[in-house]
Structure 1
Amino acid sequence: MATVSFYAADVKAARDWYQELLGVEAYFAVPSADDPQYVEFRIGDFQAELGIINSKFASHTVDGGSAGAVLYWHVDELEASLARLIELGATLIEEITERGVNTGFRTASVADPFGNVIGIMNNPHYLEILESTRS
């Protein structure tokens, strides 16, 4: 994953919500930080891009309901991450679910207050790849 784009009718509110969730500020905004139509964050071990675009520019219908593909982000503490998302106003879509028997893969998903689906998971494969880059 290099970039993921989410949509929101109120980009400023979405930016503020994601700053609170991620603990980092958006590093880029156009046309301005005071009236953003697009903002971008760098997140994760590989500084992937999370962009939030004004929904009026979407090439598909964005009506505030949960929609789209689910991109799962590896988190170290699945229960704590899910609780934090819900505490910040996200809506539970899928509770923590084991994927396979004794595989270590577990997922959950929520919708952010702007209708974007956020998947979180424990992903042993991701940890193996991450560790290999540090050797």
Structure 2
Amino acid sequence: MKKDVIISIRGKQELGDPEADVIELTTAGRFYRRGRAYYVSYEESEMTGLLGTRTTLKVQPDTVSVIRTGLSPSQLVFERGKRHVTLYHTEYGSMEVAVSTERIEHALTDEGGTIEVRYAIEIDHVHAGINELSVSVRDA
């Protein structure tokens, strides 16, 4: 049941000031289900600064994993009520990133749907804000 889809992504970062940073992106990708997990994947572009990287979201009932392969490999795991730590590689070097997930909601069916994740992020043990990730998947 792999199919071509349009993926709309909205990232919001609250750093404690009145204005939140918002990034929005719409791209073509693939959507499929394997077992109890849904997968959303797309190729990053020069606009995101991750050209040559494929991003895959693996969505399970209480967990969303963001897996990047290619030139900028990484993996972030969002699990309701849990804190996950990973080493994040950039062109400037590696850093420890920890995410503490406050909320995960998704309404995915074989037709598409939505994913919402709200989490606190720390970079090298320093609080770096509260982030929200919203993803919408629809037929191409």
Query: Where on the TM-score scale, by shorter chain, does this alignment land: which range?
Result: under 0.3
Q: Tell me which structure has the larger Cα radius of gyration.
A: 1
Q: Give the TM-score taking structure 2 as reference length.
A: 0.24
Q: Give the TM-score taking structure 1 as reference length.
A: 0.24
Higher strand share: 2
